[in-house]
Amino acid sequence: MKNSKSPCINVSTESYTGKEQSPKRFGLSAEGYDVGFEKEGFDKQIWCVQIKNNRKVWVRNINIVKITHEEPILTYSDVKNDADSNDELPSKPSATVIDVKETEKKKTDYNLFIKYYLDKLKAENKDKTPAKILFQSATQEWGRLKKSPEELKKIMELIKNK
């Protein structure tokens, strides 16, 4: 088995493979440079020496622009409105108003049954069973009723008539 690592040029105790994108690809170990030293890597990006886990390593230097807060030149008291009329603003057309009925949850047999059965289980719940377990038993009951359509039809008529 051939060892594909070569010793670095500037620090003989370090090695490199030649596949790195950092300056280490050229045989330049970060151990030989001061922290903060910058050099162009194989990928034409600027790489910087930083300390990670008590070792010097090459880290890609990403320029982050800091956003600073500036005081506005004009304030609301400086600005005067030439149009002092209190005309009403044009209103939006009524076609953009969304009906509340469209956003309501669709009342399917499943939703009605689960709500009914959960309320029933919560009323019978004397030993403070968690809601998750009650929901699981409600879904199991729904699965059982789906296999017997006649019984499901009777229960759904009872629920819808309430």
Query: How does pLDDT run across 124-150, given as a tens digit for each residue?
Result: 887 888 888 888 888 998 898 888 888
What is the pairing mode between strands 55-60 and 46-52?
antiparallel
Among the listed residues 146, 159, 149, 151, the one whose alpha carbon sits nearest the alpha carbon of residue 118:
159
Domain membership flag for residue 70 = no
Question: pLDDT above 90 covers what percent of the chain?
Answer: 5
Chain centroid to Cα 22, Å, comes to 31
Q: Between these two residues, 3 and 43, which has the higher pLDDT value?
A: 43
Statement: residue 53 has pLDDT above 90: yes
Domain membership flag for residue 66 = no
Whole-prediction pTM:
0.37
Contact 155, 142 (CB under 8 A): no
Question: Can you tell me the distance from the alpha carbon of 38 to that of 63, in angstroms, rounded to the nearest whole number?
Answer: 13
32 dihedral zone (left: phi>0; alpha: psi -120 to 50; beta):
alpha
Domain membership flag for residue 84 = no
Amino acid, single-letter form, for residue 85? S
Question: Can you tell me the distance from the alpha carbon of 92 to that of 90, in angstroms, rounded to the nearest whole number?
Answer: 7
Domain membership flag for residue 26 = yes
Domain membership flag for residue 1 = no
Q: How confident is the model at residue 111 (pLDDT cuts 50, 70, 90)?
A: confident
Contact 33, 48 (CB under 8 A): no
User: Region 41-65: what's the mean pLDDT?
Assistant: 86
* Domain span holding position 152: 104-161
Residue 10 sits at φ, ψ, to 5 deg, of -90, -25
- Give the mean pLDDT of the chain: 79
**Domain total in the chain:** 2
